[in-house]
């Protein structure tokens, strides 16, 4: 039998359980940990910095991240293109219209000529390629986008960058199809034919062989490849071509030599999207 003192101590050691209300009241009275605004800001900035510095794959960028419109006057094209072509291997360069004057003239023969730098966003937005295209104004049954020139500084990412450019064109123009042509070049054995590696890249993107043509401007042969618009890809901008513009009168200003003011003014390369 416990002594009276032991029994008394045992009873007073048993503390009654606290109710939920008492627990909540004690929590409210206890001092709360205050986060310094400066530390919170530093934490957010640290997380953002880690995200920015984390390696990105090209799948994380949409097609518009790869395309940059070129802002040039026509009389600046030759120097600009020649400087770029120094970085391109001869076989790739000869597979397309690469002479600056010829490229400018050919681009202006079509409708809506467009000039772009191809950017690699995974490499800090460095230029990785160059592209020129226009709408074929001799085709009336469809709106055909023609890629006149598409080269990249590195052959290894040619297919990937061409794929992004094609996606960009289908999204930003309502063209029904895209055409790209490869000129015949001479290989190591002096045989004529299209660049095999570029052909493989183009075919893997879904382009189909259309025809073999003799270029009346260069007397060289080239292969046409056509890619139809995918059914699930809808252009962001729909052009309304139902209402033609009729010009009833035109006034042309000219000097004594007969040169129009428009022709004398420097012309800027115009990219409509």
Q: What is the CATH number of the domain that holds 166?
A: 3.40.630.30
* pLDDT, average across residues 59-68: 72
Q: Does residue 176 sit within a domain?
A: yes
User: What pLDDT shows up at residue 228?
Assistant: 96
Work out the percent of the chain whose per-residue pLDDT is above 90. Answer: 50
**Token reading at 195:** 């660049």
* pLDDT, average across residues 222-229: 96
**Token reading at 141:** 């049954």
Q: Does residue 27 sit within a domain?
A: no
User: What pLDDT shows up at residue 258?
Assistant: 52
Domain count, the chain: 1
Q: Does residue 16 sit within a domain?
A: no
Q: Could you identify the residue written with the tokens 């290989």?
A: 187
Q: Does residue 250 sit within a domain?
A: yes
Are residues 205 and 159 in contact, defined by beta-carbon separation less than 8 angstroms?
yes
Domain hosting residue 260, numbered range: 62-264
Q: Does residue 19 sit within a domain?
A: no
Q: Does residue 49 sit within a domain?
A: no
- 225 or 256, higher pLDDT: 225
**Torsion angle (degrees, nearest 10) of CA 109, 110, 113, 119:** -100
Q: Does residue 50 sit within a domain?
A: no
């Amino acid at each position: 039998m416990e002594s009276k003192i032991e029994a008394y101590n045992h009873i007073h050691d048993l503390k009654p359980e606290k109710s939920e209300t008492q627990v909540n009241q004690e929590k409210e009275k206890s001092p709360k940990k205050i986060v310094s605004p400066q530390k919170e800001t530093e934490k957010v900035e640290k997380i953002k910095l880690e995200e920015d510095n984390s390696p990105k794959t090209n799948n994380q960028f949409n097609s518009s991240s790869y395309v940059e419109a070129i802002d040039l006057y026509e009389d600046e094209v030759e120097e600009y293109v020649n400087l770029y072509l120094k970085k391109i291997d001869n076989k790739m360069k000869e597979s397309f219209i690469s002479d600056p004057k010829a490229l400018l003239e050919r681009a202006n023969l079509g409708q809506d000529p467009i000039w772009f730098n191809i950017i690699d966003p995974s490499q800090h937005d460095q230029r990785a390629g160059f592209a020129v295209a226009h709408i074929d104004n001799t085709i009336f049954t469809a709106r055909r986008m023609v890629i006149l020139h598409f080269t990249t500084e590195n052959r290894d990412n040619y297919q990937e960058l061409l794929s992004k450019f094609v996606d960009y064109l289908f999204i930003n123009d309502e063209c029904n199809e895209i055409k790209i042509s490869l000129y015949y070049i001479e290989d190591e054995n002096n045989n004529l034919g299209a660049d095999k590696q570029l052909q493989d890249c183009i075919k893997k993107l879904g382009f189909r062989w259309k025809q073999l043509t003799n270029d009346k401007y260069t007397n060289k042969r080239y292969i046409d490849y056509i890619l139809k618009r995918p059914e699930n890809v809808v252009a962001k901008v729909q052009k309304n071509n139902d209402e033609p513009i009729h010009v009833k009168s035109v006034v042309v200003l000219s000097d004594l030599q007969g040169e129009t003011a428009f022709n004398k003014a420097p012309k800027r390369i115009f990219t409509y999207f």
